[in-house]
Amino acid sequence: MKVSRQAAALLLSAGAGLLLSGCSSSDERGDSAGPTLPARTVAEGKWQQGPPKPELHTPYPYDLYTHCGVKWVRFGGRWWVLDTVFPGTGQVKGQPPSQDGERLAGYMTLIDANTADFDAAGMPTMQFVPTGKRPATCA
């Protein structure tokens, strides 16, 4: 499988974050048999960020900002921070699309009030938790 440089950097940065945080990288989720979603591509000039008040267990098209790595997301009117990566869950089927250098097209799903999952073709599930902090800007 051919992996883009951006996807490799994303996986490495997520893996390094797990090592530093002590989180497990095994698939501990009980919902790994969830829905299968079609791969998405980035729509030029339009960012997908889900609704202001997402419903539980509903996957929303979401463009993950990857320019500075993946640690923070804005979803449902709140800031979230990367907590855990679950490799191999395969929620999104299809070929990973080539990326535009700043976004990864996928889906964000509110699992419960304090958990949101991001899934994209060819990528592990990235789980986010709410945070009261705002991300620092990157250069």
User: What percent of the chain lies above the pLDDT cut of 90?
Assistant: 45
For the stretch 68-80, pLDDT in tens is 888 999 999 999 9
- Strand pairing class (103-112; 92-93): unpaired
The H-or-E segment that residue 86 falls in is strand 78-86
Please list, residue by residue across 91-128, b when 16 or more beta carbons sit within 10 angstroms of its beta carbon and e when fewer do: bbeeebbebeeebbbbbbbbeeeebbbbbbbbbbbbbb
pLDDT band at 139 (very low <50, low <70, confident <90, very high): low
* pLDDT reading at 27 higher than 50: no
Please answer whether residues 106 and 51 qualify as being in contact, where contact means their C-beta atoms are separated by less than 8 angstroms.
no
* pLDDT reading at 22 higher than 80: no
Which of 127, 113, 34, 31 lies closest to 76 in space, CA to CA?
A: 113
3-state secondary structure at position 116: strand
Instruction: Give the pLDDT of residue 130.
Output: 97
Instruction: Find the mean pLDDT for residues 24-28.
Output: 38
Please answer whether residues 81 and 72 qualify as being in contact, where contact means their C-beta atoms are separated by less than 8 angstroms.
yes
For the stretch 93-136, pLDDT in tens is 887 766 557 889 999 999 999 999 999 998 899 999 999 988 88
